[in-house]
Structure 1
């Protein structure tokens, strides 16, 4: 499964970079969004695809037993999604303003 995701992530990176190099503002914004999603998938996949329970410690337990999912990559991806949306919105407003000012 990791091999399939590696090729998919590579394809998303290539598509994002291709769209960012076009002259259209809309294609640049879409390419930036695709590139951000590819980076999120890369972080998520690099942590390993495990099927474990949530890393919660019960009231009677002192340590977590058995295979558990790592919460750190999930938190990083969630933070990256929020930051990516903010950067995307800022880029859209900045490019619209630059287009209005320059007119090209």
Structure 2
């Protein structure tokens, strides 16, 4: 498998990993490790903090782990560091109101 480690987090946002389970029951946690499977199943999400800056970046180490103990070629062994650049496209979404369960909102 392929494991990713966030060495330097993004400056203008955060990366969250959604736990396994149904989307309504899934919990998002800010972690430093995630797998290639997490990426391909849309479990990894970058959320911008709303700052004016539309560019961000993070430094990531990638490591290939052989599941069946076969030896990898030398050039694939160890960690490989790279910078992942993020381009944020602003979208003017309508605001979302979220109330905790059993809470009441009064509009007068």
> TM-score w.r.t. structure 2 length?
0.25
> TM-score w.r.t. structure 1 length?
0.25
More strand per residue: 1 or 2?
2
More helix per residue: 1 or 2?
1
RCO higher in structure (CA 8 A, sep ≥6): 2
